[in-house]
Homo-oligomer: A and B are copies of this chain.
Amino acid sequence: MERLDRKNFPRSEQIPTGEALGRTTSEPVYAKLSSPNFHTAAMDGFAVQASDTFGASLDQAISFSIGKKAWPVNTGRPIPERTNAVIMIEHVNFVNDETFEIEKAVVPWENVRRVGEDFVQSEMILPSHHIISAYDMGALLCGGITKVSVIQKPKVLLIPTGSELVPVSAIESCIPAVGDTIEFNTTILAGLVTQAGGTADRADIIPDNYDQIKQALKSGIESDYDMVVVNAGSSAGSEDYTAAIIAELGEVLVHGVAMMPGKPTILGIIKGKPVMGNPGYPVSAVFSFETFGLPVIYRMLGSSMCNRPNMTAYSARKIPSKLGREELFRVKLGKVGNRVVAAPLPRGAGSITTLTRADGIIRIPSNVEGIEQGSMVQVELLNLPQQIERTLVIIGSHDLTIDCLADELVNHGMYVSSSNVGSLGGLLALKNDTAHVATSHLLDEETGVYNWSYIKRFIPDVPVEVFHGVMRDQGFMVKKGNPKAIRGFEDLTRHNVTFVNRQKGAGTRVLLDYYLNKVGIDASEIKGYELEEYTHTSVAVAVLSGVADVGMGVLAAARALGLDFIPVATEQYDFVVPQKYLDDEKVMRLLEILRSQTFKSRVTSLGGYGVGRSGERLIESK
């Protein structure tokens, strides 16, 4: 049986104290010098023997000859032998150049920092396993420690495997071919190793070839790496060799863990060194490595596992989860009212942005079957609590201008958490008090007025104000050149035309249904009516990639992806704000930005937007 070779951990090395920021002490550090190391004047003035000043008063000044019973001294300088106090320069009356008088005595050791006042030679300055701060470097130098013993940084080798992978360098000058996947998992893992206090090297990409992977792993083990990680090939597919190779070279301890994402994790030992096989989806790779790889690195650093800070949050939605395995969910966080609200991000383990957009992670244990909406959950924080305090939560209809708003808010030290759940979903979020602002463009088919009737109907108990956001052109997005010759709604029913729709509750879907109704088309006649996407850009991509021939959305989305656009209507996209949040700093800033020229020019340049009334408070039309 293979065993981890522990004798080398933690390994220590001596480094100059001035370079020790963030490193971990390998042993307690004891002062070589006291601080201060000599009796030190704490004030500018004259050093004296305190007993020589006894009796001095307003009535009876005592005079001193400079250089005989009193010596000039500056702050930070040693006081002469046989003196034990300093008279402040401000308390001295000069008689002439050689003599001064005082009218007040000093007590022994007044205005003197005595030897060892802070710490004394032989005292412990830092314990072992302490992460050295900027302050600590100062204390060590102060104690005469110019070199400090720290734990060596564990060295990790990351081996990317996969025949579909191309290195970052390959896309620097040209667009990747279909089938080429950019290798970025090891860049993420290297960053995580660095942040944990280790160093990481990334090997060249190895194709899915048993012998080549084996060779790379073997040479990593035989070099001075403390740990080797193979990413990916940890599953059970026809080209997943990692487990077999580890078994050949050493021993597989674990293959597969009850955790999602991250299930196909391999843990093994070769020649006493820990080896890990990671799944290939980026989120799986991250969770697998953070859960099983980072603790090994922390252990090599001699530290107890450094957990992320926790926070209790209120779940904005029901989060279903399967029994029998731990599930990790990425969530957005924002403080709405007095509660921190957690909104789950999509589950897809291939979606790296579900990590970059996440503020925290919820772990649902294997014996729990999901979390109800409104229940309290523990969240491991990825962001600082103070950032979450400064996050504006916007829920509702998707529009590209939200990105502009978010980018402008960042300049004011505020952040946006936005969830695209459609206009109606946004209004309901206000009802549940899980958002500061809802975005909505719900057209009342009868009155032709936006939003108000929906607000009255769905959230009658939430007093809100409505602010004009933008006017925007909605229309059909089609491939360049409009190959299917789409002209109007009647074209959607043609047999050779596939439509892509927005989800129920989305304003764009309401708009579509309004027009279908108007021209007398039944939804069942449209092929693809049931194919739902959640954002304008997703619809545009569905068209671009051939999933559908046509979809409805805003001009800006079509333009961003080089699609043609057939205008259908101009509609009103608004911001709905509960009255109680009108004086929230973040909301106030949002409205200010909406009204700003910077925002208006920026949005105008996207195309298809009207910003004449942006930020205007709307009065309910009766």
Asked if A247 is an interface residue, CB under 8 A from chain B, the answer is no
Q: Check A411 against B128 for contact (C-beta < 8 Å).
A: yes
Give per-residue flags for A160-198: 1 if the beta carbon is below 8 A from chain B beta carbons, else 0.
001010001101100110110110110111111011000
Give the docked Cα–Cα distance between A280 and B40 (Å): 14
Q: Among B74, B116, B307, which residue has its beta carbon within 8 angstroms of that of A538?
A: B116
Report B-chain residues with C-beta under 8 Å of the C-beta of A239. Answer: 74
Q: Given the known inter-chain contacts A114-B541, A407-B28, A545-B115, please indicate yes or no for A76 contacting B280, CB distance below 8 A.
A: yes
* Chain B residue with the shortest CB-CB distance to A541: B116
Report B-chain residues with C-beta under 8 Å of the C-beta of A540. Answer: 120
Give the docked Cα–Cα distance between A560 and B31 (Å): 11
Q: Among B76, B126, B282, which residue has its beta carbon within 8 angstroms of that of A162?
A: B76
Give per-residue flags for A70-100: 1 if the beta carbon is below 8 A from chain B beta carbons, else 0.
0000111110000010000000000000000
Q: Among B138, B146, B304, which residue has its beta carbon within 8 angstroms of that of A171?
A: B146
CB distance from A324 to the nearest CB of B (A): 19
Report B-chain residues with C-beta under 8 Å of the C-beta of A194. Answer: 21, 134
Q: Check A138 against B282 for contact (C-beta < 8 Å).
A: yes
CB distance from A452 to the nearest CB of B (A): 31
Q: Check A237 against B352 for contact (C-beta < 8 Å).
A: no
Q: Check A188 against B538 for contact (C-beta < 8 Å).
A: no
Q: Check B187 against A118 for contact (C-beta < 8 Å).
A: no
Q: How large is the interface on A (under 10, 10 to 19, 20 to 34, 35 or more residues)?
A: 35 or more
Q: Check B168 against A36 for contact (C-beta < 8 Å).
A: no
Q: Check A561 against B403 for contact (C-beta < 8 Å).
A: no
CB distance from A110 to the nearest CB of B (A): 13
Q: Check A127 against B406 for contact (C-beta < 8 Å).
A: yes
Report B-chain residues with C-beta under 8 Å of the C-beta of A379. Answer: none
Q: Check A187 against B18 for contact (C-beta < 8 Å).
A: yes
Q: Among B141, B354, B384, which residue has its beta carbon within 8 angstroms of that of A187?
A: B141
Asked if A316 is an interface residue, CB under 8 A from chain B, the answer is no
Report B-chain residues with C-beta under 8 Å of the C-beta of A113. Answer: 348, 350
CB distance from A568 to the nearest CB of B (A): 22
Asked if A489 is an interface residue, CB under 8 A from chain B, the answer is no
Q: Given the known inter-chain contacts A76-B181, A309-B386, please indicate yes or no for A403 contacting B191, CB distance below 8 A.
A: no
Chain A positions 266-294 with a Cβ under 8 Å from a chain B Cβ: 280, 282, 286
* Chain B residue with the shortest CB-CB distance to A310: B386
Give the docked Cα–Cα distance between A33 and B175 (Å): 8
Give per-residue flags for A300-311: 1 if the beta carbon is below 8 A from chain B beta carbons, else 0.
001111110110
Q: Check A74 against B28 for contact (C-beta < 8 Å).
A: no
Give the docked Cα–Cα distance between A17 and B49 (Å): 65
Q: Check A21 against B350 for contact (C-beta < 8 Å).
A: no
Chain A positions 312-354 with a Cβ under 8 Å from a chain B Cβ: 348, 350-354
Report B-chain residues with C-beta under 8 Å of the C-beta of A141. Answer: 168, 182, 184, 187
Asked if A547 is an interface residue, CB under 8 A from chain B, the answer is yes
Chain A positions 351-396 with a Cβ under 8 Å from a chain B Cβ: 351-356, 382, 384-386
Asked if A514 is an interface residue, CB under 8 A from chain B, the answer is no
**Which 7 residue pairs spanning A and B have beta carbons closest together?**
A304-B413, A134-B191, A116-B541, A122-B560, A115-B545, A141-B184, A118-B351
Contacts A114-B542, A142-B352 known; 11 new A-B pairs at CB < 8 A:
A38-B178, A38-B179, A75-B237, A114-B547, A120-B560, A126-B356, A127-B410, A135-B355, A135-B356, A139-B356, A306-B386
A-B contacts, 14 listed (Cβ < 8 Å): A36-B181, A36-B350, A76-B162, A84-B547, A114-B542, A117-B350, A118-B352, A120-B537, A129-B410, A135-B188, A137-B184, A137-B191, A138-B355, A146-B171
